[in-house]
Structure 1
């Protein structure tokens, strides 16, 4: 069972429990009205107090359920691209990019690491908790050198993914912000990892708008090997 399933379970239970307590509150309301009709004021007052208590407890449980639901949404990730790497020569790589729809692209990259950059459009909290995911547009894939001095002088590889037209949401938000009242912010996000021969990487976007890159288990073990290992 993953974390999303663990968080979804108490959310569902809290919603059910809140519903049961609301039914109890309704029963207290009917009882209070009946006692008030029969002029049993003390009993009517007692049931009214129970009604208030049940409503407060139901509201508390409902709020907890929404909070947990929000945390579950924030933990979910949207696949962006898979990257497979094969070494051609020292610091020269052949990469295969596979998109969620199954399309793929092959390219060459220079460096020790790959870096993926994207523009992210993030919604305000009410829209995000309601389940509206952040929007993204891949901007570029580039090579990165571990040595900063080499980064300044060595050949660089930059692959441009920016193909947005005049209707791009990022540009529209910047140009006409009042059209997008529920947009919280537009920002850049990037993720990079070391390249290893035969490496397989998954790049995804979190609900917070953060771009993350993760190697599979075998790749992670190879990344963790000491030099010469």
Structure 2
């Protein structure tokens, strides 16, 4: 049983007890047993508040579990200009479009991911991410060490971000659970378009965005 149901069932039970005591309170009021009616009123309020609190908690947990789904954060389209050199067009979820020149055999997209703990977790706060850089990789380890590298930053740190503050002052941000880097990579192929998603647990996932890219990957042995 999921945590959602573990919390929702007691919430429903508290709501049922509240309704039962409402009926008892009305009977006591009709018989002018005001002491008994007052006691039942206190119980009604207590169970009603407990039901509302548990229902809110179950709703927060349900929302958090739904984060296991994926959210597309970018698409990457590639055009080859010469061997091991490509033009990459990156479209991000915020509507931004940027073009870079990348050298190598594979592209790699890096991101920073921040996750939460209580009370932000119960509030339904989703993992946060920021795309950090787009770079090229070489399949040959020797070439990776010696050939020209292409690394393009995707963010500007004009002010300290939450990641930086958490690492410098962890005691002041106890509700930040974990912060880590995530990366996705696939081969650079002429005419390929990739969809990059952020999984509910915070990891980047790259897939071919269409059938033609899927065929290109198959022909390349991926």
Q: Same fold (TM over 0.5)?
A: yes
Q: Which residue of 2 aligns with 1:215?
A: 208
What SS class does the counterpart of residue 224 from structure 1 fall into?
A: helix
Match of 1:140 in 2: 133
Which whole-Å CA distance do the structure 1 matches of 2:158 and 2:176 have between them? Answer: 20
Corresponding residue to 1:189 among 182, 189, 193: 182
Instruction: Show the counterpart of 1:175.
Output: 168
- 1:203 offset after TM fit, Å? 2.0
- After superposition, the C-alpha distances for 1:98-153 in whole angstroms (9 at most, x for unaligned) are 12232211111111111011222221155235321222232211101223233223
Deviations 1:46-99 (A, max 9, x none): xxxxxxxxx9xx89x96876654332123242x432211111222211111112
Paired position in structure 2 for 1:88: 81
Alpha-carbon distance change, 128 to 197 in structure 1, aligned in 2, over 3 angstroms: farther
Shift of residue 162, structure 1, vs aligned partner: 3.9
Q: Secondary structure at the match of 1:155?
A: coil
Return the alpha-carbon distance in structure 2 between the equivalents of residues 177 and 200 of structure 1: 39
Are positions 1:26 and 2:9 aligned together?
A: no
Q: CA 1:68/1:162 → structure 2, altered by over 3 Å: closer, same or farther?
A: closer
Is 2:72 the partner of 1:71?
Answer: no
> 2 CA distance for matches of 1:209 and 1:203?
12
Partner of 1:157: 150
Query: Could you tell me the TM-score, scaled by structure 1's length?
Result: 0.69
In the alignment of these two chains, the number of paired residues is 201
Distance 1:185 1:226 in 2: 37
**Distance in 1, Cα, partners of 2:85 & 2:194:** 17
Aligned equivalent of 1:198, options 186, 191, 203: 191
Unmatched 5+ residue regions in structure 2? 32-47
Change (3 A) 1:24 1:169: closer
Q: Do the aligned residues in 1 keep the contact of 2:70 with 2:200 (CA within 8 Å)? A: yes
**Contact kept? 1:73, 1:129, Cα under 8 Å:** no
Deviation larger for 207-216 or 188-197: 207-216
Match of 2:39 in 1: none
Q: Tell me, what secondary structure is at the counterpart of 2:18? A: helix
RMSD: 3.7
d(CA) in 1 for partners of 2:22, 2:203: 50
Moved over 6 A (4+): 17-20, 34-38
1:203–1:72 distance in 2 versus 1, CA, 3 Å: same
Partner of 1:83, secondary structure, is strand
Residue 149 of structure 2 aligns to a residue whose secondary structure is coil
